[in-house]
Amino acid sequence: MLKGRHLIEPGDFNLEELEGLFSLAEKIEADGAYLRESCRGKLLATLFFEPSTRTRLSFEAAMLRLGGSCLGFAEPGSSSAAKGESLSDTIRTVSCYTDAIVMRNPKEGAALLASRVSDVPVINAGDGGHHHPTQTLTDLLTIRRFRGELGNLTIGFCGDLKFGRTVHSLAKALSRYPGVREIFISPPELRAPDYIIRGILEKEMIPYGEAEKLEDVIGDLDVLYMTRVQRERFFNEEDYIRLKDFYILTKARMENAKRDMIILHPLPRVTEIAAEVDGDPRAVYFKQAKYGMYVRMALLASVLGVV
Ligand code: CP
């Protein structure tokens, strides 16, 4: 069903297809031998025009665990992009060599452009401040694992909601599940963009709220999605310094949260979650990073057509 498909933004797969991926990821997690050699002979390109730890390495780990191989670059300076080659030409070329392409690029829309010129599936690993759909797969799988369902929950997004592409993707993805309420917690300068608030939530009549203080809403939340302030997308350093420590989740602040609330974070974390919170059973962000590998295994096996 997903064989040969691109994944550029969260709406590209329907709910049934997502459910299939989550079930497959859980099967892979439960049985380490399942699909182990299924991608032997297949090649994955990982083209990262921006830094990454989790997304690139979890994709590479996923492909290697499926028995396939990887090639690519971790920064554009080592590719012919540094000589002025266009993205279209790079993608056309790499799609001659490989069976699928995972790409992160600072330009919004770059992944869509790549998908239009590629002969093989393109997976968006983040395009500027726009979308990060495989982080969304990771987040949805984590919520499903810990809450038992993806509907009927109140999720609070906290931090840099303007530039945080993981927030944009997850807010959009969750709007398709019944009974979801979304609360956006940010300073005024870092509010979620209108295309999320008006273009999706208001249009689809999804209940939502906005707040500046985390302590005003933390007691209502089933899921708290913390994010870092995205330094690389700020135009000036002064604004970043003023806003970077706006939210710091501490043990004391967690006292008003529900006992079964879970804390997610796409990572990397900077200062927004104090290390003392890591030992709280509600802090599931490192488990979330692990689920990211399983769901990327499921995704690769599906788009490569080996399941
Ligand atoms: N969550 C995420 O995208 O992490 P990286 O930037 O390390 O890939």
243: confidence class by pLDDT, cuts 50, 70, 90 = confident
Q: Is 133-289 in the same CATH topology as 10-131+292-303?
A: yes
Taking the domains of the chain in order of start, what are their residue ranges?
A: 10-131+292-303, 133-289
Question: Containing H/E element for 294?
Answer: helix 285-303
Q: So what's the pLDDT on residue 151?
A: 97
Q: Which residues pair with 45 in a beta bridge?
A: 71, 101
Is the per-residue pLDDT at 298 higher than 90?
Answer: yes
Using the mean position of ligand 1's atoms as its centre, give its distance from the Cα of residue 267 in Å: 6
CATH fold of 133-289 reads: Rossmann fold (3.40.50)
Using the mean position of ligand 1's atoms as its centre, give its distance from the Cα of residue 119 in Å: 26
Using the mean position of ligand 1's atoms as its centre, give its distance from the Cα of residue 191 in Å: 21
Q: So what's the pLDDT on residue 180?
A: 98
Model's pTM, two decimal places?
Answer: 0.96
Using the mean position of ligand 1's atoms as its centre, give its distance from the Cα of residue 205 in Å: 31
135 lines ligand 1 (CB under 6 A): yes
Q: What is the CATH architecture of 10-131+292-303? A: 3-Layer(aba) Sandwich (3.40)
Burial of 7: CB neighbours in 10 Å, binned 0-12, 13-18, 19+: buried
Q: So what's the pLDDT on residue 233?
A: 79
Is the per-residue pLDDT at 254 higher than 80?
Answer: yes
23 lines ligand 1 (CB under 6 A): no
Q: What would the pLDDT profile of 33-86 be if each residue is shown by its tens digit? A: 999 999 999 999 999 999 999 999 999 999 999 999 999 999 999 999 999 999
- Sequential DSSP letters for 33-100: TTTTTTTTT-EEEEEESS--SHHHHHHHHHHHHTT-EEEEESSGGGSGGGGT--HHHHHHHHHHH-SE
User: Closest Cα to atom 5, ligand 1: which residue?
Assistant: 52
